[in-house]
Amino acid sequence: MVHQMIPPGSILGILGGGQLGRMTALAAANLGYRAHIFAPEKDSPASNVAWRFTCADYNDQQALEAFAANVDSITVEFENVPEAALTLLAELKPARPNSRALATAQDRLVEKKYLESVGFKAAPFQAVDGPEDISKALEVFGSPIILKTRRFGYDGKGQVKITSSSDVKAAWAELGQSPSIAEGFVNFTREISVITARDIMGKIKSYPAVENRHENHILRQTIAPAAELGKLAEEAEYLASQAIKGLDMVGLLAIEMFVTDDHQLIVNEMAPRPHNSGHWTMDFAATCQFEQLVRCAMGLPLGSTQILRPAEMTNILGDEVNEWPKLLADPNVHLHLYGKAEARTGRKMGHWNKAQ
Ligand code: AMP
């Protein structure tokens, strides 16, 4: 198969209008491309910096076809784009990542099974289709367990911890009786992630594993690289490369993992797109994750994933964004704001990077 580089001046189509799309569009511009955003929201962080914007529903076939006709390659910044939309687009233009990667990441049950199949260890899990499955999981895995909806969960939404059989009915109702998975609770000491990239030639490069610190289920800080992982760093990178290869996808795959008390790696979840834990690469890696995605989508060779300097990334949540003058008073802070008008509690408004 002949692989073609899509030359500068061409158009990258991005499904999704969030900050990940915004930073991908900016990286595309740096390489001389134009970005065309497709998103249902009228005003979005990505559409504000893009060359063109289609405001339409992901199920609008006519709008999808017109979008495909207007772009040279397509990527996603949001993994809950309906699989059917990407499948339709992939018949018309290169879709990177492919719809298989998207479908795998959209369903926690399919995702966990896939990650185990490439060699990751996962917490014990089982499908839940009713309260009796939850009771069974509690009996088999022991208390506590975590119940998570198979679809549309993020930042701790769509999940609930269950400690006793008296919680079962309420938990099932809280998740709206949606198909779910029950997972055994992992006693972890740290959470880490690896972002790996695969180009159209099948070449794979990973960024070093980083440590992620959460507050109220939302990522607060990433430390790059994660300290003292020893052999686990290599294991995480190797397994991530197996996961991206197995999906035959071109693009970025982020994988979140736990490190347990006894120094084992337990996989949590994956995302076939740029990831919040990779934002440090914008200022402290040889190639930032957004440029890496643009390179993948446009058929260019991968850039170096080398870390230039140990760094920290901190998310700016809600009205913390009003503290921008204070952040800028430190000349070593690299500030990245997403241009969101409304600072709702817990909403990701921006982030800052700083050398450690
Ligand atoms: P998730 O939405 O799967 O990323 O989960 C959000 C957060 O909940 C994770 O970052 C962990 O801090 C915690 N968590 C998720 N699954 C488990 C588990 N099986 N055991 C312990 N903590 C978990």
Cα–ligand 1 centroid distance for 268 (angstroms):
7
pLDDT value, residue 153: 76
Which residue, 33, 30, 39, is CA-closest to 12? Answer: 33
Token pair in block for residue 167 = 């919680």
Q: Whose CA is nearest to atom 2 of ligand 1?
A: 156
Judge if the beta carbon of residue 214 lies within 6 A of ligand 1: yes
Which residue, 144, 269, 146, is CA-closest to 219? Answer: 269
Q: H/E/C letters for each residue in 179-223?
A: CEEEEECCCEEEEEEEEEEECCCCCEEECCCEEEEEECCEEEEEE
Judge if the beta carbon of residue 111 lies within 6 A of ligand 1: no
Cα–ligand 1 centroid distance for 267 (angstroms):
10
- Phi/psi-derived region of residue 292, left when phi > 0, alpha when psi is between -120 and 50, beta in every other case: alpha
Cα–ligand 1 centroid distance for 142 (angstroms):
17
Test site for ligand 1: of 261, 268, 269, most ligand atoms within 8 A of the Cβ = 268
d(CA 345, CA 247): 36
Token pair in block for residue 333 = 């802070």
Cα–ligand 1 centroid distance for 23 (angstroms):
26
User: Strand, helix or coil at 89?
Assistant: helix
d(CA 302, CA 119): 25
Cα–ligand 1 centroid distance for 345 (angstroms):
21
Residue 315 has a CB neighbour count (10 Å cut-off) of 20
Judge if the beta carbon of residue 185 lies within 6 A of ligand 1: yes
Q: What is the mean pLDDT of each run of 10 residues along the chain (356 residues)?
A: 85 98 98 98 96 98 98 96 97 97 97 98 97 96 96 81 93 93 96 98 98 96 96 97 98 98 96 98 98 98 98 98 98 98 94 98
**Ligand 1 atom nearest 157 alpha carbon:** 2
Strands 34-39, 52-55: pairing is parallel
What digits encode the pLDDT tens for the residues 205-254? Answer: 999 999 999 999 999 999 999 999 999 999 999 999 999 999 999 999 99
Cα–ligand 1 centroid distance for 304 (angstroms):
31
d(CA 49, CA 67): 17
pLDDT value, residue 115: 98
Judge if the beta carbon of residue 146 lies within 6 A of ligand 1: yes
What digits encode the pLDDT tens for the residues 40-65? Answer: 999 999 999 999 999 999 999 999 99
Amino acid at 268: N
pLDDT value, residue 79: 87
Which residue, 270, 122, 258, is CA-closest to 196? Answer: 270
- Would you report the helix, strand and coil content of the chain in percent, each value rounded to 5? 30, 30, 40
Cα–ligand 1 centroid distance for 201 (angstroms):
34
306: exposed, middle or buried (Cβ count in 10 Å: 0-12, 13-18, 19+): exposed
pTM of the model: 0.96
CB-CB contact of 52 with 62 (8 Å): no
Judge if the beta carbon of residue 186 lies within 6 A of ligand 1: yes
pLDDT value, residue 158: 86
Judge if the beta carbon of residue 156 lies within 6 A of ligand 1: yes
Judge if the beta carbon of residue 294 lies within 6 A of ligand 1: no
Token pair in block for residue 105 = 């990441």
Cα–ligand 1 centroid distance for 159 (angstroms):
9
The overall longest dimension of the chain from CA atoms, in Å, is 61
Specify the DSSP element, H or E, that contains 30: helix 19-30
pLDDT value, residue 2: 58
